[in-house]
Amino acid sequence: MRLYSKFSDAELTALLTESDHDAYTEIYNRFWKKLLAIAYNHTKDKSDAEEIVQEVFISLWNKRNKINIQTIDRYLATAIKFTVFNSYYRKRKRINDMLNKMPYDESYTIEDQIAAAFLKEQINGIVTKLPEKCRLVFQYSRDQGLNIPEIAKEMNIAEKTVEAHLNKALKTIRGDLSESGTLLVLLTELFLK
């Protein structure tokens, strides 16, 4: 019986390409903690990080006969980063699609409605705590759809002052929401654009 824990990374990689399941298991055992740390460092969410690591290892097994891996640890680290990027992209696309749908669209799921309502509630709670002029500028911009010159005229203030108040509001909202997690920050980026 082979003692896979004694094999080098290169030996395990060679065995993996031959569909050696025990070599695959050893690669998993050897690298999963490091990969989880890399994924968590990017996502700041344990569940997302675990899912990403699982996705990378499933992909590794599925592509074992088709890929030429020079260094397994570098390959896996790069795969994690690529998968994190794809995960962000999929989430942003889903959120963007959700925010672009009409509230009563049949394809607008209850989860989408809850997420959008929760985000709007979070933002409204933060907006109420803004200084009065800052809050008014944000509300004119987002609730009434006024542009900077229109807000300046409505409030009888300079356009630069409107820009400053709007930037302060957006910075405050993003900062407060960042404590709520990555998904909310992504939602905010899409919602506040």
- The predicted-structure confidence for 19-59, as pLDDT tens digits, reads as follows 999 999 999 999 999 999 999 998 888 988 999 999 999 99
Query: Where along the chain do its domains lie?
Result: 4-95, 109-192
Rounded distance between C-alpha atoms, residue 149 and residue 141, angstroms: 11
Whether 67 has a pLDDT exceeding 90, the answer reads no
In angstroms, the CA 155 to CA 153 distance is 6
Query: Which two structure tokens, joined as six digits, stand for 53?
Result: 């690591």
Q: Would you tell me which CATH number, out of the four given (3.30.465.10, 1.10.1740.10, 1.50.10.20, 1.10.579.10), belongs to the domain 4-95?
A: 1.10.1740.10
What length does the chain have?
193
Q: Which residues contact 123 (CB under 8 A, 6 or more apart)?
A: 173, 177, 188, 191, 192
pLDDT in tens, 88-100: 777 766 665 655 5
Above pLDDT 90, what percent of the chain? 44
Domain 109-192: give its CATH code.
1.10.10.10
Q: Which two tokens stand for residue 128?
A: 């109420």
Q: Which amino acid, residue 189? A: E
**pTM higher than the cut 0.75:** no
Which residue is listed with tokens 């009409």? 102
pLDDT at 185: 47
Where does the pLDDT of residue 70 fall: very low under 50, low under 70, confident under 90, or very high at 90 and above? Answer: confident
End-to-end CA distance of the chain: 60
Does residue 182 surpass a pLDDT of 50?
no
Query: Tell me, what's the pLDDT at 183?
Result: 47
